[in-house]
Amino acid sequence: MYTSDKQVSEKRYAGVIWGYLLTTVSCAFFGAVYELFSHEVYSCFMIYAFVFPLLLGAIPFFLMQKRGKLFPGKAADLIHAGVAALTVGSILQGVLEIYGTSNPLTISYWFAGGTLTATGWLLTLKKQAVRE
């Protein structure tokens, strides 16, 4: 890999990491404000919605950047989609719980998010194994 390619990928990773950190803070803020106006009705899904972009997005991309490894393009896209589905699913589940209802279709967020994220990680591990 050329030096300029490495610098571009490091800048791209920095943007991805900052995007995930901004999403993490936004979800935490949204959850806090929503809970403030929920008449003392709380939901763990709403409170901890920020965990998905933090633990599945910012931290893994930061660690991979520090190790000098790169996510393959399609794998990164799958991970991004999976984290988005898990985050939105958590917020939706929290909204429904605070409202006092449920919907059996919310399980599709968990299934889709988990499948997309796991597939992205498997592709990454496969590419890393082939390179080494």
70-77 average pLDDT score: 82
Instruction: Provide the whole-model pTM.
Output: 0.88
Work out the percent of the chain whose per-residue pLDDT is above 70. 91
Residue 62's Cα: distance from chain center in Å?
13
31 touches 72 (CB < 8 A): no
Look at residue 1 in the predicted model and tell me its pLDDT. 47
Phi and psi at residue 105, in whole multiples of 5°? -75, -15
Q: In which band, very low, low, confident or very high, does the pLDDT at 7 lie, cut at 50, 70 and 90?
A: low
Look at residue 5 in the predicted model and tell me its pLDDT. 46
* Amino acid (1-letter code) at residue 7: Q
67-88 average pLDDT score: 89
28-47 average pLDDT score: 89
Look at residue 6 in the predicted model and tell me its pLDDT. 55
86 touches 109 (CB < 8 A): yes
How many domains are there within the chain? 1
Mean pLDDT over all residues of the chain? Answer: 87
* Amino acid (1-letter code) at residue 10: E
Position 55 pLDDT exceeds 60: yes
50 touches 31 (CB < 8 A): yes
pLDDT tens per residue across span 85-112: 999 999 999 999 988 898 999 999 999 9
94: containing domain? 3-131
Rounded Cα gap, residues 86 and 80, in angstroms: 10
Look at residue 131 in the predicted model and tell me its pLDDT. 66
